[in-house]
Chains A and B, each alone.
Chain A
Amino acid sequence: MYKYVLRRLALSIPVLILSSLIVFGLMRVMPGDALTALMGESGNVSAKELAKLRKDLGLDLPYYKQYLIWLWQMVSLSPGDSIFTNEPITVALKKSIPVTIELAVLALILGLAIAIPIGVLSATRQDKASDYAGRVAAITGLSLPDFWLGTLVITFAAIWFRWIPPLGYASLWDNPWTNLQQFLLPAAVLGFRLSAATMRMTRSTLLEVLREDYVRTAWAKGLGERIIIYKHALKNALIPVITLVGGQFGTLLAGTVIVETIFALPGMGRLTVEAILFRDYPIVQTNVMLVAVTLVTLNLIVDLTYAWLDPRIRYQ
């Protein structure tokens, strides 16, 4: 077991290094410079001034040197400053990570709260009207682009209810009521897609499990439907669902990009996209590495949990 853990950890490191190379490479190959965005809609800056600015920001060093410097910054947990704002990246991250986490968690909760009951309903009433309705609703949820749903929601909230979530992000600790108002709609939009995928997965795994022998035995014994589903079937059906949700985490993070822009939330998704568009290399690289580390860690935990549960793997 010990060896297994070590092996898995050791394998994670090359993955992270490869991720960092991919991100670093992509950012450098992009046309345009953070400097040009910095100039804004200003006058043409002389080549001499541009060169000086470039030197100050360390952009004139050869690529491999820039990469190694940045790698050291990552490892020593001091990611340096944003090219654009000169603000330390840790400051930007401290402010934006809680926003995205809160958004993602709320979306997860809302999504699952809708998806699982509907999935159960669909599975137990397979091929009946409510099943069709559920499946159609789910697939519709999967067919609407995020930005379109978000735009519709915010526009019609303003027109019909003369209300939109209060702009100007307030943190959960400072002002919980305002904060919840701000996050409800965007979390619902984000969670909509997640709930669609989860609903279908719940339905299909539950269908499989309901056919298992032990469930049939329970039916034969005359146990009530409720008990069978919630006590026996659902528990086992949920394992692949949890795997799915874990896998959807990446999609969730990607979805925050668009939802954060439309609902004006200062989260990591918006930070990263704007940094890509402004060629603010340090921010993009740091953010993506952070997400990579998170995902790799999550995978590690999941794998280790499975290993712990499943003796076959443990003793490999």
Chain B
Amino acid sequence: MPTDPRPAHSRSRVSRRDFLKRAGVGAAAMTPLIGGVTTRRASAQPTSPYPDWVPPSPKPPKRGKLLTRASAWDPPVLDPRLTNSVGLSQIATLTSNRLVRYPFSDEATSTTDLTLKGDLAESWQGSPDFRVWTFKLRKGVKWQNVAPLNGRELVAADIKYCYEQYAKEGVQSFTFQEIEGIETPEPYTVRIHLTKPNTMFPQNLAEPVSVIFAREVLEQDGDLKKRLIGTGPYILKEHTRKVRVVLARNPDYFEQGRPYIDEYHILSTPDAATRLAAFRSGQSDIHFVASLSDAGIVKKTNPDAQIQEYKTVQTVFGLALAQDKPPYNDVRVRRAISMAIDRQKQVDTLYGGHGILGWGIPYFYFQDKMPTAAQLGPYWQYKPAEAKKLLSEAGHPNGFETTLFYYEYFPEMTSQVQLVQQDLKKNLNIEIKISKLDYTTFYGRYAEGKWDGMSWGFKTGYATGLDEQTYQYMHSRSSKNYWRFSDSVIDELVTKLRQTPDKTEQKNLTKKVMEREHDQVTRMWMPYDAGFMVWQPYLRNTGSLALRRNDGYGASTLARLWIDK
């Protein structure tokens, strides 16, 4: 692991300045932001005062102690076949392992380091046609010493069983149904045959939701709702619904010496103000804030808190249109709407300059640096006059009326929705009636896919791998294509992507996918800020790497966390 002698703080400042230079933006407005109040429109992304990566601590780790976190999420069920919810992943990624995984905070070379590492697998190999993948398992991995597993060894048959169950029923089935068959020629080898070639298949096994669960539990209980037993660093000691989850260190974990922390308590705390109060009073060790000004607020009362920027590499939310019907099935209408929305203003004002304009695939999959505004294509620019002309050409010179429903995932989203409403009214005379819904109504309506008008849509938040981000979300026949678009060029590109082993070629293809998406405005991504992680000063090896927030889907990295008290 390379050690950079410069302190992390200055390292990130340099990289941001570099980015700004390359983006061709003036150096004038690099003022640090205070509390989000700007009287002048900022023309560049000001520096964030917080680093986007926290290097591992050079001190030797100390064992023991208790980690607590006030969590917004209750696990809906403990059964990983039935839910992808972060409420479960915050626990399951600690009680269980996957075949492969992404780097932890103390082994990553940068925040966007997504080199696949072995978790339960020691090594793996794809056949030349990428239809057969062979995984060699670690020897001596033990299931947790809890009945009925009682610490027996993990074998290949366990993996085979899991994946077959995932394919059979539940929310993971789409991913696992591309498996034609699984062989276990000997106890530590798993050979997976796919129906079609997929060069990126192992990535799907590294997703936080693809945890390996225990066959005996499923066979005895009939489901996985009551017990969650795995091979992971923490044993689920207690799960009191709506109160707390207690995770206790697994003494037989296959990674010698880890985890460091003895117990991790997750306290159910539905209200945001209460979670903040818990952090301030020391009852919660880890806290998440959505914006720069929120981070500033915490810093005021807790000046010693460590704050890390959770790097924004993609947007999860955007303006979803019922684009299988008029008027949105006309690409001119979509382009016009996209050009009538002032994305830069949203970034400058709502996110204090610290957000991205919005794109749907993590940028490092198609280029090395964050996309500039120009690279996002002509239809991502704010050109109201052109938009109006285009909309008139499409047959709506006087605009039209429509509806927009959404769920407020965080307060800035409501601000964004209203700004979009104002932009579209002002520039295109499109009248939007907003419906702010509760979670169930929103999710049900959105996922059902029969709604009219507009929605503040999303793609699911856990996806780390490229295959998930492209094929699984964008192919016209995929069940995860919430945006209801069907584009033959994209279908062709993402299918070809799966058959491309060369990394550079993959980048080129992904870039073409992104460009096509922005040209056809199949998903109208909106500005976003992934937020900031806040830690009590005595935590070490913290660090939420990109796409892996460690209070949620990226919780597996907490096995490397330790408390310096």
Binding site for B on A (CB under 8 A): 30-34, 36-46, 49, 52, 84-87, 92, 95, 151, 154-155, 157-159, 162-164, 166-169, 261-264, 266, 270-271, 274, 277-279
Contacts and interface: CB of A to CB of B under 8 A. Distances in A.
A162 B445 contact: no
A185 to B, nearest CB: 11
Contacts of A84: 76-77
Given A49-B173, A87-B241, A32 B440 contact: yes
Given A49-B170, A49-B173, A167-B283, A31 B271 contact: no
Nearest to A32: B444
Given A84-B76, A264-B268, A45 B83 contact: no
Interface of B: 70, 76-77, 82-88, 169-175, 223, 225, 240-244, 265, 267-271, 273-274, 276-278, 280-284, 301, 438-441, 443-445, 447-449, 458, 460-462, 472, 479-482
B225 A266 contact: no
A45 B479 contact: yes
A264 B76 contact: no
A46 B480 CA distance: 10
Given A44-B482, A168-B243, A39 B83 contact: yes
A161 to B, nearest CB: 8
24 contacts: A34-B440, A36-B443, A39-B82, A39-B447, A40-B86, A40-B88, A41-B461, A42-B171, A44-B447, A44-B479, A46-B173, A49-B169, A87-B241, A155-B276, A157-B281, A167-B267, A167-B278, A167-B283, A168-B265, A261-B271, A266-B241, A266-B242, A271-B242, A274-B242
Contacts of A86: 77, 223, 225
A151 B479 CA distance: 41
A167 B269 contact: yes
Contacts of A36: 440, 443-444, 447-448
Given A158-B281, A168-B243, A33 B444 contact: yes
Contact of A42 (B85, B284, B438): B85
Contacts of A159: 280, 301
B466 to A, nearest CB: 17
Nearest to A264: B269
B269 to A, nearest CB: 5
B440 A278 contact: yes
Contact of A45 (B85, B171, B241, B439): B171
Contacts of B439: 37, 277-278
A38 B76 contact: yes
Given A86-B223, A266-B240, 16 more contacts: A33-B440, A36-B444, A37-B439, A39-B83, A40-B76, A42-B84, A44-B479, A155-B277, A158-B277, A159-B301, A163-B281, A164-B274, A167-B269, A264-B270, A278-B440, A279-B440
Most buried by A among B84, B284, B443: B443
A83 B214 CA distance: 24
A166 B284 CA distance: 10
B267 A168 contact: yes
A162 B281 CA distance: 5
B274 A31 contact: no
A245 to B, nearest CB: 28
B84 A43 contact: yes
Contact of B243 (A43, A49, A169, A277): A169
Given A167-B283, A169-B243, A266-B243, A43 B171 contact: yes
A32 B243 contact: no
B84 A41 contact: yes
A126 to B, nearest CB: 40
**Those 6 A-B pairs whose CB atoms lie nearest each other, nearest first:** A40-B85, A42-B84, A158-B277, A32-B444, A36-B444, A42-B171
A158 B276 contact: yes
A39 B445 CA distance: 13
A266 B448 CA distance: 32
Nearest to B225: A86
Contacts of B77: 38, 84-86
A41 B460 contact: yes
A31 B444 contact: yes
Nearest to B439: A277
Contact of A155 (B70, B269, B273, B449): B273
A43 B479 contact: yes
Contacts of B242: 266, 270-271, 274
A43 B225 contact: no
A38 B283 contact: no
A167 B461 CA distance: 28
Contacts of A164: 274, 277-278, 281, 283
A45 B82 CA distance: 10
Contacts of B84: 39-43
A304 to B, nearest CB: 37
A81 to B, nearest CB: 10
A154 B479 contact: no
